[in-house]
C-alpha cells in the first residue's frame, strides 16, 4: 500500500517503521488528500486518535499525528506532518466524524485551529481561558490566574 | 375598571400569541447530577419530553495528566495513569507499562504476563460490576447495586492482599511486576471464580427478563455499526452493534493469544444488547482467568530493566482492550528520563461523542439510560 501511495505522491511522502509500527511522514500540503485516500480507498475507516507534539525550537513547531486503523485489514498506521504555529490544517471531520472532539482537544491543548471544523472551540478547559497547556512554553504550574480569580473567586487555584 | 382593562388586554393577546409558543426548550443537566456518573454536564434541546439534540460540556475533572507526564520520569508517571479510569486502574497500568516496554524493547517474563492477565480480567469484571450496579440504579432497579458491590468487594480484597491498594492499585511495573503473588493467591482467585459464576446468573435473573428492565432498555439509544465506526466508538458499545472486534483477539497483547475465549456480540446496538454483551464478557473473563491460573508458570516476575529508564528516541502507539474500549498510549521519547509527550487515547472520551446521536428522538429519561450504558468514567474523559 505504502509503495503504491509513494508511487502516486512521490517525494512528499516518506514511509517509516519503528519498533514494528508503520507510520508515514507526509508533506503538509498533501494531508487532506492522503487522509481521504486512506479512508476511502485503503479502508482505514477507524480514526483512533488525532494528536500533536510541540517542538518549540523547530521552524515548523508542531507535529500533527493521526492514528488510523482498518477493520478490514486489521492494520494500524500513523500519519504525521509538520505544521507551523498559526497554520490551520483542514479538518478531517468530513472524513471521520470521530475527528470532531479529537480536533477540539488538539485546539484546546496546542492552539492549532482546524479549517472547516463545525464547532472549533475549547473542550476540556473553560471558554475564555488563556493559553494552551500542552505547549512546551506553558509551565506546569502556570494557569490563567485572571480567569481563576474572576470565575472561582479565589486568589489562585494552586 | 382595572379588571376590565386587564381582561381586554388578555383577550387581545391570547389568540395570537399562545402562552408558550416555543416548541423547543433548552435545559441543563448536571454537572452535579447523580445520574451523570460524575461531573458531566449535558445541555439538552427538547421538544416536550423528546430530545432534539444535546451537547456535552466536559472538563470539570481535567487535571492535565498528559502535561504531568512530561514532567515525571517514566517510572514516576506510572501511578498517575491509575487515576484516569479509576474503576479500571489495573487496565490503565497495563496499557502504560506495555507501551513503555515497547519503547525500551523489553518484554515482561511469562509469569508476570500471566499475573497481569489475571488481575486485568478481574478488573474487567469489577468494572462491569460497577457499571451494572450504577446503570441499573439509574433506571430504577436498586437491588443489583447491592449485589454487584457485595461481589466486587471480593475482587478488591484480592487486590488489597496483592499490592495493598483496592482502587488505584499501581499493580504493575515497567518490565513486569514488583510483587510476587502472595501465599494462596491461586486458591483465592479460584475461590472467587467458583463464588462468582452463579452470581452472574443471579444478576441476570434480576434483570434479563424483567419486564421493566426490558421496556426501559430495548430499542433505547440504538446505534448502528456504521455510525459506531464513523464515530470511533470501541469496546462493548461497538460489539453490541454487531462488530466482532476486540483488541485482545485482533492484535493480541500481553499473552492473550494463549487463552481461549469468545467475543460476545449483539445485534441491535441498543441498551439491552449492550447489557447482554457486558454480561457475556464477564463470563468470558472468568474463562480467561481460570485458564491463566491453571497454567501459571514459575519464573522471574520482572525483566531486566535499567533503574534509570532512558528509552531510545522514538515514538510508539500501543493500545489495549480496556473494559470501556480501546485505551491507547502514544509516547514520544527524546532519549531522556522523561517522556517528551504522553498522549492518552481514552475510550470514554471518544465513546461519549456518540451520546448526541444515540439520544436523538428519545425521551429525557432515556438520556440517563444511555449515559449509563456508554459506561463512561469522567476521570478518563477529562484526564
Kindly indicate the confidence band of residue A37, based on its pLDDT and cuts at 50, 70 and 90: confident
A94 near B CB under 8 A:
no
Helix/strand/coil for B329: strand
> What is the interface pTM, i.e. ipTM, of the complex?
0.89
Contact B59 A96 (CB under 8 A): no
Q: How far is A10 from chain B (nearest CA, A)?
A: 24
Give pLDDT tens digits for B305-360: 888 888 888 899 999 999 999 999 999 999 899 999 999 999 999 999 999 999 98
Beta pairing partners, A25: A14, A80
Q: Which residues are CB-contacts of B234 (< 8 A; sequence separation ≥ 6)? A: B245, B325, B326, B347, B350, B351
Residue-level pLDDT at B308: 87
> CA–CA separation, B105 vs A73, rounded Å?
26
Average pLDDT over residues B63-77: 91
Residue-level pLDDT at B23: 76
User: Is B108:B303 a contact under the CB 8 Å cutoff?
Assistant: yes
A67 near B CB under 8 A:
yes
Q: How far is B164 from chain A (nearest CA, A)?
A: 30
> CA–CA separation, A131 vs A154, rounded Å?
20
Contact B341 A97 (CB under 8 A): no
Nearest CA in chain A to B331: A53
* Among B102, B103, B231, beta carbon nearest to A97: B231
> CA–CA separation, B103 vs A144, rounded Å?
35
- B323-to-A98, B84, B245 alpha-carbon distances in Å: 20, 13, 13
Provide the H-helix boundaries in chain B: 2-16, 65-70, 74-81, 89-104, 110-139, 143-163, 185-207, 211-217, 225-230, 236-240, 247-250, 271-294, 347-352, 355-359, 364-374, 378-382
* Among A18, A67, A98, beta carbon nearest to B230: A98
Give pLDDT tens digits for A92-108: 998 999 999 999 999 99
B356 near A CB under 8 A:
no
Cell, residue B141: 432497579
Helix/strand/coil for B173: strand
Closest CA to B112 of B305, B320, B302: B302
Interface with B, mutate which of A16, A17, A18 (most B CBs under 10 A) = A18
Give, for B330, the enclosing helix (H) or strand (E).
strand B325-333
Helix/strand/coil for B307: coil
Place of cell 464515530: B231
Kindly indicate the confidence band of residue A131, based on its pLDDT and cuts at 50, 70 and 90: confident
- A87-to-A29, A93, A98, A124 alpha-carbon distances in Å: 12, 18, 22, 22
Contact B317 A78 (CB under 8 A): yes
Q: What is the mean pLDDT of chain B?
A: 88
What's the predicted TM-score (pTM) here? 0.86
A36 near B CB under 8 A:
no
Place of cell 480514526: A47
Q: Give A138's contacts in chain B (Cβ within 8 Å).
A: 67
Amino acid at each position: 500500500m505504502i509503495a503504491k501511495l509513494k508511487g502516486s505522491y512521490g517525494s512528499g511522502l516518506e514511509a517509516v517503521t519503528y519498533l514494528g509500527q508503520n507510520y508515514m511522514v507526509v508533506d503538509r500540503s498533501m494531508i487532506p488528500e492522503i487522509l481521504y485516500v486512506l479512508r476511502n480507498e485503503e479502508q482505514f475507516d477507524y480514526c483512533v486518535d488525532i494528536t500533536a507534539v510541540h517542538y518549540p525550537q523547530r521552524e515548523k513547531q508542531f507535529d500533527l499525528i493521526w492514528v488510523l486503523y482498518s477493520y478490514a485489514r486489521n492494520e494500524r498506521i500513523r500519519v504525521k506532518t509538520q505544521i507551523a504555529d498559526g497554520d490551520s490544517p483542514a479538518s478531517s471531520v468530513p472524513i471521520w466524524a470521530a475527528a470532531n472532539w479529537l480536533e477540539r482537544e488538539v485546539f484546546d491543548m496546542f492552539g492549532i485551529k482546524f479549517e472547516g471544523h463545525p464547532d472549533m472551540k475549547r473542550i476540556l478547559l473553560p471558554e475564555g481561558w488563556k493559553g494552551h497547556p500542552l505547549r512546551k512554553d506553558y509551565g506546569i504550574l502556570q494557569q490563567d490566574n485572571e480567569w481563576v480569580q474572576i470565575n472561582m473567586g479565589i486568589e489562585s487555584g494552586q | 375598571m382595572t379588571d376590565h382593562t386587564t381582561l381586554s388586554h388578555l383577550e387581545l393577546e391570547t389568540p395570537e400569541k399562545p402562552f408558550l409558543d416555543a416548541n423547543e426548550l433548552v435545559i441543563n443537566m448536571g454537572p452535579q447530577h447523580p445520574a451523570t456518573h460524575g461531573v458531566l454536564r449535558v445541555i439538552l434541546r427538547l421538544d416536550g419530553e423528546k430530545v432534539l439534540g444535546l451537547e456535552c460540556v466536559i472538563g470539570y475533572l481535567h487535571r492535565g495528566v498528559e502535561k504531568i507526564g512530561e514532567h515525571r520520569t517514566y517510572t514516576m508517571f506510572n501511578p498517575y495513569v491509575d487515576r484516569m479510569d479509576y474503576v479500571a486502574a489495573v487496565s490503565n497500568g497495563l496499557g502504560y507499562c506495555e507501551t513503555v516496554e515497547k519503547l525500551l524493547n523489553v518484554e515482561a517474563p511469562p509469569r508476570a504476563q500471566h499475573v497481569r492477565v489475571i488481575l486485568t480480567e478481574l478488573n474487567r469484571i469489577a468494572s462491569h460490576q460497577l457499571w451494572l450496579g450504577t446503570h441499573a440504579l439509574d433506571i430504577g432497579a436498586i437491588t443489583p447495586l447491592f449485589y454487584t458491590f457485595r461481589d466486587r468487594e471480593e475482587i478488591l480484597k484480592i487486590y488489597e492482599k496483592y499490592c495493598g491498594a483496592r482502587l488505584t492499585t499501581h499493580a504493575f511495573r515497567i518490565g513486569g511486576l514488583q510483587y510476587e503473588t502472595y501465599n494462596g493467591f491461586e486458591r483465592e482467585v479460584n475461590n472467587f471464580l467458583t463464588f462468582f459464576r452463579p452470581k452472574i446468573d443471579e444478576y441476570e435473573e434480576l434483570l434479563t427478563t424483567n419486564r421493566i428492565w426490558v421496556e426501559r432498555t430495548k430499542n433505547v439509544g440504538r446505534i448502528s455499526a456504521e455510525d459506531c465506526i464513523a464515530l470511533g466508538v470501541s469496546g462493548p458499545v461497538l460489539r453490541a452493534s454487531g462488530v466482532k472486534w476486540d483488541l485482545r483477539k485482533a492484535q493480541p497483547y500481553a499473552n492473550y493469544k494463549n487463552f481461549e475465549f469468545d467475543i460476545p456480540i449483539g445485534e441491535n446496538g441498543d441498551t439491552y444488547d449492550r447489557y447482554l454483551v457486558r454480561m457475556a464478557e464477564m463470563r468470558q473473563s472468568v474463562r480467561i482467568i481460570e485458564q491463566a491460573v491453571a497454567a501459571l508458570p514459575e519464573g522471574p516476575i520482572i525483566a531486566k530493566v535499567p533503574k534509570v529508564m532512558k528509552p531510545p528516541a522514538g515514538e510508539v502507539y500501543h493500545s489495549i482492550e480496556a473494559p470501556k474500549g480501546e485505551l491507547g498510549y502514544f509516547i514520544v521519547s527524546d532519549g531522556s528520563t522523561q517522556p517528551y509527550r504522553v498522549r492518552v487515547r481514552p475510550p470514554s472520551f471518544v465513546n461519549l461523542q456518540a451520546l448526541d446521536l444515540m439520544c436523538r428522538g428519545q425521551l429525557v429519561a432515556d438520556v440517563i439510560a444511555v449515559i449509563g450504558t456508554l459506561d463512561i468514567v469522567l476521570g478518563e474523559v477529562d484526564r
